[in-house]
């Protein structure tokens, strides 16, 4: 059992909180408004909601489920709470177009994951799942084609912890690809540039990036 703090309380947070809770982990969600209208729903789901600093302090592993545009600023302010921990970064940091899809990356030539690792030198950042629709993150076996979970980070032990958590969400080891250091998150982060066109081509169906081999 791992104490997992999910920072942000949106769509990804709901899926991951449920998946980790069902796998037997202790989950706390960090929100700007822990006593807001959604609190009862979280309580009914058996998940505690606190402020962001408290959640970050409680978790042994934290998940960045915040908008990419605010991730570095918000998490940089939680450096003390996140120190010594693993930060699982699932965020995409983009400049949106009028329809809300990515028209550009906020960190061209780099990545949000690298930005977070620089802002949080005492935290081991691992990028994963940002190429997977939220509805598939804890149900990867529901697609006709096995999706891929890419993993990028500088610390081998942290990546092993994240691979274990992915297994708890239903990801077989063969569907997980360790790409290397944190800078290897650049290409998976760029996948978001294709999402708008894919939705245009496929319609609003859940999808994820997959490497056929």
Ligand X SMILES: NC(=O)c1ccc[n+]([C@@H]2O[C@H](COP(=O)([O-])OP(=O)(O)OC[C@H]3O[C@@H](n4cnc5c(N)ncnc54)[C@H](OP(=O)(O)O)[C@@H]3O)[C@@H](O)[C@H]2O)c1
User: Which parts of this chain interact with ligand X (CB under 6 A)?
Assistant: 8-13, 31-33, 65-68, 70, 74, 90-92, 130, 132-134
Min. distance of Cβ 8 from ligand X in angstroms? 3
Min. distance of Cβ 96 from ligand X in angstroms? 10
100/103 Cα distance (integer angstroms): 9
- Collapse the DSSP code of 94 into the 3-class scheme (helix H, G, I; strand E, B; otherwise coil) and give the result: strand
179/165 Cα distance (integer angstroms): 17
- Across 66-104, b (16+ Cβ under 10 Å) vs e yields bebbebbebbeebeebbeebbbbbbbbbbeeeeeebbee
Min. distance of Cβ 111 from ligand X in angstroms? 13
Min. distance of Cβ 133 from ligand X in angstroms? 4
Q: At what angle do helices 156-168 and 11-22 cross, to 10 degrees?
A: 80
State which residue, 72 or 90, has the beta carbon closest to ligand X: 90
Residue 104 belongs to what H/E stretch?
strand 102-105
Tell me the HSE value of 124 on the side-chain side, using a 13 A CA sphere. 18
State which residue, 33 or 142, has the beta carbon closest to ligand X: 33
Min. distance of Cβ 61 from ligand X in angstroms? 16
- 31 Cβ contact partners less than 8 Å away, ≥ 6 residues apart: 8, 9, 38, 49, 50, 51, 52, 55
Name the token pair of 84: 């010594």
State which residue, 29 or 86, has the beta carbon closest to ligand X: 29
State which residue, 1 or 204, has the beta carbon closest to ligand X: 204
Closest-approach residue to ligand X (CB):
10
Min. distance of Cβ 130 from ligand X in angstroms? 5
State which residue, 14 or 159, has the beta carbon closest to ligand X: 14
State which residue, 167 or 195, has the beta carbon closest to ligand X: 195
């Amino acid at each position: 059992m791992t104490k997992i703090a999910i920072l942000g309380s949106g769509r990804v947070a709901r899926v991951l909180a449920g998946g980790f809770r069902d796998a037997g982990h202790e989950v706390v969600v960090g929100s700007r408004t822990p006593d807001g209208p959604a609190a009862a729903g979280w309580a009914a789901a058996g998940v505690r909601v606190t402020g962001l600093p408290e959640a970050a302090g409680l978790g042994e592993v934290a998940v960045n489920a915040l908008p990419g545009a605010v991730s570095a600023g918000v998490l940089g302010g939680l450096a003390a709470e996140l120190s010594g921990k693993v930060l699982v970064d699932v965020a995409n940091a983009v400049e949106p177009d009028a329809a809300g899809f990515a028209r550009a990356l906020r960190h061209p030539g780099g990545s949000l994951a690298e930005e977070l690792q620089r802002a949080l030198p005492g935290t081991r950042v691992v990028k994963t799942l940002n190429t997977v629709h939220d509805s598939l993150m804890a149900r990867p076996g529901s697609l006709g084609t096995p999706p891929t979970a890419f993993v990028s980070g500088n610390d081998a032990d942290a990546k092993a912890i994240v691979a274990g958590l992915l297994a708890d969400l239903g990801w077989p080891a063969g569907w997980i690809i360790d790409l290397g250091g944190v800078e290897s998150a650049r290409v998976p982060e760029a996948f978001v540039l294709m999402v708008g066109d894919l939705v245009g081509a496929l319609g609003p169906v859940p999808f994820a990036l997959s490497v056929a081999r």
